[in-house]
Amino acid sequence: MADETPKLGGTLTYMIPADGPPSFDGHREATYATVHSAAPYYSVLIRVDPNNPGSATDFVCDLCTEVPQPTDGGKTYTFKIRDGVKFHDGSPLTAYDVAESWRKIVDPPEGVTSARQSFYVMVDKIETPDPLTVVFHLKFPTNAFLPALADPYTWIYKKEILDKDPRWYEKNILGSGPFKFVEYQAGQSIKGERNPDYYHKGLPYLDGIAGIYAEKQAVRVEAIRGDRAAIEFRSFPPSAVDELVGALGDKITVQTSDWNCALIVTPNHKRKPFNDARVRRALTLALDRWQSAPALSKIAIVRTVGGIVFPGSPLAATREELQQIAGYWPDIEKSRAEAKRLLKEAGAEGLAFELLNRSVDQPFKFLGIWLVDEWSKIGVKAT
């Protein structure tokens, strides 16, 4: 966080490392290309405290007036919604919009995709006793509910639009967030302007924002070096950072941290031989995470070995705890010997398959090449 007093005005131009989002619907998508493009135009119910983003327990209100304590033995959460909030078309935002947006996430209608539907299996029903109250009834009490509720993709849409076309938001933007959508040029840019009716008084500080799409890292680096953009939120590998610092000196500031998300390899467990747990276990046992991380960090925007909970979280596993898990053993030779044994036992020696990967340089292409090389060391051929 900057120490200086914020200055009003100006337009922030930032780079988005993609050629564009697959759609604008945050409920549907799971890519930064969507959240970096459209999140500034939307509100959420609650969010992680922006002044403490690494916390797994510190949540603050966005559209609500207070983060509630659960009642009914931990199974009921009652949220009061801010009065006077407006969508960017001037219409009022009410509890009915909040509830309908969440119903679309929790239990989407036929033909509609909800990428995080499984996060909310604890939700039984959502009620709106009045225009400023939303009540979530859970099937069982769980501490996982509020963290799931604070997911940054859970944007609040207009009920009137969802009732007519639940897929409207895939190609259109209409929210109540700090910026109002102005223009989208496919493969080029997305632009917004300050929302004068924003309910967090005094915010945003900026007059406008402009996201510039560029899939290639070299293009993004050159844009920042040439002062055509001010920031790249996903960062660059050390070599590119050094290049920018060398060129710009004290005109550039570098801020880095561990990721609060994970890179996941997902075998199709419904298809042979990946339906055999021994094969899936062998694939993770082959990966030398501890020795590879320092080398990968020099060329890709990855650096820290972590488990299912991101490093730095108070809930994250320690190094010692991770080393008890298959794929994190400190002795890689022992790990790979076990992987080969499991493949032989499962009748999957000489396994060959095609690895589907994202066509984005950082970090996916680098990680894909690394995976192919690591698996080759147990006799697996991935292309």
pLDDT, tens only, 126-172 = 999 999 999 999 999 999 999 999 999 999 999 999 999 999 999 99
Alpha-carbon Rg of the chain, whole angstroms?
A: 23
Region 303-322 average pLDDT: 86
Residue 217 has pLDDT above 70, yes or no: yes
For the range 368-372, what are the long-range contacts, defined as Cβ-Cβ under 8 Å and sequence gap of 24 or more?
370/292, 370/296, 371/265, 371/287
Within the chain, which residue ranges are assigned CATH 3.10.105.10?
277-382
- Look up the CATH number of domain 277-382: 3.10.105.10
Gap between the Cα atoms of 307 and 83, Å rounded:
41
Within the chain, which residue ranges are assigned CATH 3.90.76.10?
11-170
Query: Coil, strand or helix: which one is 363?
Result: helix
Residue 260 has pLDDT above 70, yes or no: no
Gap between the Cα atoms of 221 and 289, Å rounded:
28
- Report the candidate in 214, 215, 375, 240 with the shortest Cα–Cα distance to residue 300: 240
Residue 2 has pLDDT above 80, yes or no: no
Residue 3 has pLDDT above 60, yes or no: no
pLDDT band at 297, cuts 50/70/90?
confident
Helices (runs of H) and strands (runs of E) counted in the chain: 11, 12
Which residues contact residue 52 at a Cβ distance below 8 angstroms, ignoring those fewer than 6 apart?
58
pLDDT in tens, 201-214: 999 999 999 999 99
pLDDT in tens, 71-106: 999 999 999 999 999 999 999 999 999 999 999 999
* Superfamily in which the 11-170 domain is placed by CATH: Dipeptide-binding Protein; Domain 1 (3.90.76.10)
Gap between the Cα atoms of 233 and 189, Å rounded:
16
Residue 62's alpha-carbon distances to 28, 176, 383, in angstroms, are 21, 11, 45
Query: Coil, strand or helix: which one is 367?
Result: helix
pLDDT reported for residue 223 = 97
